[in-house]
Amino acid sequence: MILTLRIWRQKHARDKGRFETYEMKGVSPDMSFLEMLDVLSDSLVDRGEDALTFDNDCREGICGMCSLTINGVPHGPDQGGTVCQLHMRRYKEGDTITIEPWRVSPFPVLKDLAVDRSAFDRIIQAGGYITTNAGSAVDANAILVPRADAETAMDAAACIGCGACAASCPNGSAMLFVAAKVSHLAHLPQGAPERAQRVLSMVSQMDQEGFGNCTNHSECEAVCPKEINVSHIAKINREFIRAAVKSIF
């Protein structure tokens, strides 16, 4: 296939950035999207130009590092997958594809298509954990968890922290990311002692990082590579109200 790629190029964080257009020949339908970018980047190096910078690592949809907005949609057209899992058989001869980084202000662009997502790490550091030192645990089967609760917790825990939710949200909200962690731990008895403090601290950090509020657009669920349901946002809202009321009395 021959494709036209419009790709965001930006030299560094302070550069204004612009789209560059590349004609891409010999694209095989069996290539992954990132392999196509590898080929393009290699050809740029051959011509003596700067390689194309884009974050990626595992290339099997689980590490959460890849982060491209394709034709306006984080992770591209396939439902329930990351951009590294997207294959070129999704496209046809002559297509024009626009490739941008995540577009949300708490994730500043570092170079080309790579952004800084440390805001997500700081939200987890604020409370996205259970306080338990190595060696302090009771026997694993001493804590019984109803299967349905374990499954719901797992649904939420599947989050890979890629940031597509925030990148897709018209408000630039990170609610689905924060909700996934709060809901995961709130569904397990191990998470109960810190339940109230956790949601308050994480939401407060999310606000400090400059993420917007949730107004139920559900764009996040539509692009989430792990198909995390917005019902977890309903859960975090209940958790937040519960904790906030509790903190008054």
Partner 1 sequence: MKLDAKIPSGPMAGKWEKRKFEGKLVNPSNKRKYNIIVVGSGLAGGGAAASLGELGYNVDCFCFQDSSRRAHSIAAQGGINAAKNYQNDGDSVYRLFYDTVKGGDFRSREANVHRLAEVSAAIIDQCVAMGVPFAREYGGTLANRSFGGAQVSRTFYARGQTGQQLLLGVYSALSRQIGAGQVRMHPRTEMLDLVVVDGHAKGIVTRDLITGKIESWAADAVVLATGGYGPVFYLSTNAVGNNVTAAYRAHKKGALFANPCYTQIHPTCIPLSGDHQSKLTLMSESLRNDGRIWVPKKQGDTRTPGDIPDAERDYYLERMYPSFGNLAPRDISSRAAKRACDEGRGVGPGRLGVYLDFRDALSRLGDDTIRQRYDNLFDMYERITGENAYNMPMRIYPAIHYTMGGLWVDYDLMSNVPGLYVLGEANFSDHGANRLGASALMQGLADGCFVIPYTIAEYLAGTAPGEVGTDHDEFKKSQNEVSDRIRALLSVNGKRSATSFHRELGLLMWEKCGMARNEAGLKSALEMIPALREEFWENVKVTGSGNDLNSELERAGRVADFLEFGELLVTDAITREESCGGHFREEYQTEEGEAMRDDENFSFVGAWEYTGETPILHKENLEFEEVHLAVRSYK
Site for partner 1 in 162-221 (CB under 8 A): 184-185, 188, 190-191
Q: Output the six-digit token pair for 73.
A: 């949609």
* Residue written as token pair 């859960």: 235
DSSP 3-state assignment of 100?
Answer: strand
> C-beta of 38: minimal distance to partner 1 in Å?
6
Angle at which helices 118-125 and 175-186 pack, to 10 degrees? Answer: 30
Query: Within positions 6 to 45, which residues make up the interface with partner 1, using CB under 8 A?
Result: 11-12, 28, 30-32, 34-36, 38-39, 42, 44-45
Q: Output the six-digit token pair for 106.
A: 């708490």
> C-beta of 75: minimal distance to partner 1 in Å?
12
In whole angstroms, how large is the CA radius of gyration of the chain? Answer: 20
Q: Does 51 bind partner 1 (CB under 8 A)?
A: yes
Cα–Cα distance list, 124 to 37, 180, 181, 223 (Å): 32, 11, 8, 21
> C-beta of 124: minimal distance to partner 1 in Å?
4
Task: Work out which of 68, 99, 104, 160 binds partner 1, going by CB under 8 A.
Answer: 160
Task: Work out which of 56, 69, 183, 229 binds partner 1, going by CB under 8 A.
Answer: 56
Query: Within positions 59 to 98, which residues make up the interface with partner 1, using CB under 8 A?
Result: 59-65, 78, 80-81, 85-87, 89
Amino acid at 58: C
- Residue among 10 and 168 whose Cβ is closer to partner 1: 10
Q: Are 69 and 167 in contact (CB under 8 A)?
A: yes
- Residue among 192 and 234 whose Cβ is closer to partner 1: 192
- Residue among 97 and 126 whose Cβ is closer to partner 1: 126
- Residue among 64 and 172 whose Cβ is closer to partner 1: 64
One-character DSSP codes across 169-216: -TT-B-HHHHHHHHHHHHTSGGGGGGHHHHHHHHHHHHHHTT-B---S
Q: Whole-angstrom Cα distance, residue 177 to residue 189?
A: 21
Q: Are 174 and 165 in contact (CB under 8 A)?
A: yes
Q: Output the six-digit token pair for 1.
A: 């296939």
Interstrand relation of 69-70 and 114-115 (parallel, antiparallel or unpaired): unpaired
Q: Whole-angstrom Cα distance, residue 134 to residue 142?
A: 17
Query: Within positions 113 to 142, which residues make up the interface with partner 1, using CB under 8 A?
Result: 114, 116-118, 120-121, 124-141
- Residue among 5 and 126 whose Cβ is closer to partner 1: 126
- Residue among 201 and 237 whose Cβ is closer to partner 1: 201
Task: Work out which of 46, 93, 94, 248 binds partner 1, going by CB under 8 A.
Answer: 46
> C-beta of 249: minimal distance to partner 1 in Å?
27
